[in-house]
Chains A and B, each alone.
Chain A
C-alpha cells in the first residue's frame, strides 16, 4: 500500500507535470531545430514568436467567448488555434520576406542572421506588449480537471491523490498527434524528404532540382504551426505572460542542443530530458521516503537535491555538460 502511495505521489508531482512541460518544450525545440537545420541560424526570437502566436490564440478565444461559441468541456482555445495558426504563418512569411530573405540571398554568416533575429525579437516583443499588454493572462476554460485529487482518493482509498488537469492531457495528446504527423511528413512525403536533403547538403539538394524558395516557405509554415501550438499549450496549462515566454526560450534552446541541434527527433526527446531533469532534481522527496522507508528511518530534511530556485539553472547545467562532452548533442545533430 505504501509503495502504491509513493508511486502515485511521484506520478502526481513529477511524471504528469514533467510530461506536459516536456511536450511544450519539445514543440518549441523542434521549431528551433527546424529553423537551425534549414535556414541555418539560431533563432533568438523563438520565445517571442511563440508568444505572438499565443496572443492570436487568446484574441480569437476572447472573440469566440464573446460570441458564445465554445467546445463544452474542452477549452475554447482549441477552436481558436487553427485561426491563430493562419495569422502566425502570415506573420512568419512576412518577416522572412522583409528581414531574413535579404541575408539568405547574400549568404551572410549565421552569426549575422542570429543578430537579425535579435532585432526581430525586439520588434515582436514590442508588438505583443502593445497589442495585449505585459500582464499575466489565463484563457483556459471548460472542465479544469479530468481526475480531481479528492475523487481519486475516494475511488481508490489511497492516501495520496492524483490530480490530472485536462490541459495536461490535451497538451500531451496534441503533441503526440502533431509530432507524429510532422515525422510522417518529414520521412514519408516527397516534400519532407527534400527538406531533409536540403538541410543535409544544400548544394547537392539544389543540384538535384529542389526549389529552395519552396523549402524555406514550408519551413516557415511548419515553424508557425509549431510556435503557435506550443505557445498556446503552454499558456493553457500555465498562463500567458510575454516575459515568461521570452524566458522559456532558454530551456527550449537547451532542449534543442541537448537533443542535437538540427535533429527534430533529438529535439523532441531533448524537451523531455530537460523537463524531467528540472523537476526530478528540484523535487523535495521527503514524503516519498516517508512512504518507502520504515518509520525509524524517516528523513529530517526535505531531501531536495537542489532548491526550486535553481530550476532553470539545472537545464542550463545539463546543456553545458552536453556541450562539453558531446557538442553534437545526445543524438547526433545536424542531420534532419
Chain B
C-alpha cells in the first residue's frame, strides 16, 4: 500500500480535477474529457509496450489509429448492395491479384539466392502486378463511386455491431505493424522513428483518397452505436422516472405543474446525453482494465523480464539465446494492435469517421508526450500520462484565457495586444505541451510515475 501511495495520490488528484470540471463547467464536458482520457490511455498503453518495454520507437501511431477507425467503418456500416454488384467483383479480383503478387514475390525470394536477377524479377512482378491491378480495379472503382455519391459511393461494410470492430481494428493495425516491422525494424532508432512517421502518412493518404473503401474526405457519418440514442432515451419511461428520482429534490421545489414539467424535460435532455456518455465510459473502462491487467501480467512475467533485458542490452540478450528480431516484431505488432483498438473506440465514440482529421500532431506526437510525461515502462504511469495530457490539452484554452486576462488586466479591452492574445488562446495548448515535455525530460526524465521493477 505504501509503496503505491504516489500512484494512488496521482490518480485521485486526476479524478478530482475531472470532478471539478464536472461541478464548475458541466458533467457533459467532464465525461467527454474522461472518455477521451480513457481512449488516450489505451493508445499510451500501446505506445508504452513498444517504447517502455522494448525500447522500440514508433512514430506511426496515427496510422494504426486510422486503421482502427477504418475497421469500425467496415464492420458497422451496412453493405451497399448496388455498389457490390457494380464493382465488387473487380475489387475482389484485384484483392486476389494482390495476394497472388505477394505470394509470387515470396516464392521468388525463397527459391532463388540473393542476386541482381532476383531483384529484377521481383521488380518486374511488382510493377506489372500494379499495372494489371489498376486495369482490373479502375472500372470497378469508378462504378462504385458513381452509385449515389452524395450518400454512399463506397462499398459499405458488413453491418455488424460496432463493438466487434474493436477486435478487428486490433487485427488490422497488427497486420500493418507486422508488414512494417518486417521491413523497418532492422533500422536504427531514429531512422525507425522517421520511417514509421512517413509510413503512417502513406496510410493516411490511402485512407483519404480511396473513396471506394472509405468515402475519403467525404467522411462516413451516422455509424451505429453500442449505446442508446439520446432521442430514444428521452422517450423511454424508465429513464424519465430515473431522472425524476435523481432530481426529485430540485423538482419538489417547483410548485407550478407546467413549470415542473418543463424543468423535468430539461433534466431529461441533459441526463440523456450524460447517460449515453456514461455508457461509453463503462465500455471504455472495461477495455482499459482488461488491457491493464494483461499488460501488468506481461510486464512481470518471464517474457516481460526478457523484453527489458533486450531493451537494456540487445547484444547480451542475443548472446543469451533470445531471439531479438522475433521479440521486437512481436511487441511491435502487439503494441500497434492496442493502438488499433483505441482507434476503433475513438470512431465508435464519435459516431463518424473523418480521414481528414488524422494529423500527426494530435495522433502521434501528443501520444508520445503522454507516454514520456506519464512514465514510460510503467503502465500506470502511461495511463496517467494519457489522462493528464489530454486534460491539459482540452483545458489549456480556458487556462490560457485566464492567464491572458490576468497578465493583460491593465490594458484596455480593445488594446491590440490583448485582442491578439485572446484570439491566439487555442495555441497555448501547444506551448503548454512543449514546455511540459521539455521540463519533464529535463528534471524528471522517467516521467511522473517512473518505472520500477519489483523483484518477486
Residues of chain A at the chain B interface (Cβ within 8 Å) = 41-42, 44, 99, 102, 109-112, 114-116, 118-127, 129-130, 133-134, 246, 250, 253-254, 257, 261, 307, 309-310, 312-313, 316-317, 319-320, 323-324, 327
Contacts and interface: CB of A to CB of B under 8 A. Distances in A.
Contacts of B201: 250, 312-313, 316
B198 A316 contact: yes
A109 to B, nearest CB: 8
Interface in B432-448: 433-435, 437-438, 441-442, 445
A41 B190 contact: yes
A309 B189 CA distance: 30
Interface string B412-435: 000000000101100111110111
B168 to A, nearest CB: 24
B372 interface: yes
Contact of B198 (A99, A111, A133, A320): A320
A180 B366 CA distance: 39
Given A111-B193, A122-B433, A123-B438, 6 more contacts: A41-B190, A42-B190, A121-B365, A122-B430, A134-B427, A319-B194
B401 interface: no
A130 B428 contact: yes
Indicate the size class of the contact surface on chain B: 35 or more
Contact of A310 (B184, B189, B195, B205): B205
A129 B365 contact: no
B136 interface: no
Interface in B66-86: none
Contact of A254 (B198, B368, B430, B433): B198
A125 B361 CA distance: 11
Given A41-B190, A313-B201, A316-B198, A123 B435 contact: yes
Given A118-B365, A123-B435, A250 B197 contact: yes
Given A253-B194, A309-B208, A319-B198, A327 B365 contact: no
A125 B438 contact: no
A118 B424 contact: no
Given A319-B195, A320-B195, A99 B438 contact: yes
Contacts of B453: none
Contacts of B195: 319-320, 323
A40 to B, nearest CB: 9
A151 to B, nearest CB: 37
B202 A120 contact: no
Contacts of B197: 250, 253
A323 B184 contact: yes
A320 B199 contact: yes
A312 B206 CA distance: 11
Nearest to B372: A115
A113 to B, nearest CB: 9
Contact of B199 (A111, A127, A307, A316): A316
Contact of B187 (A119, A316, A323): A323
A253 B194 CA distance: 7
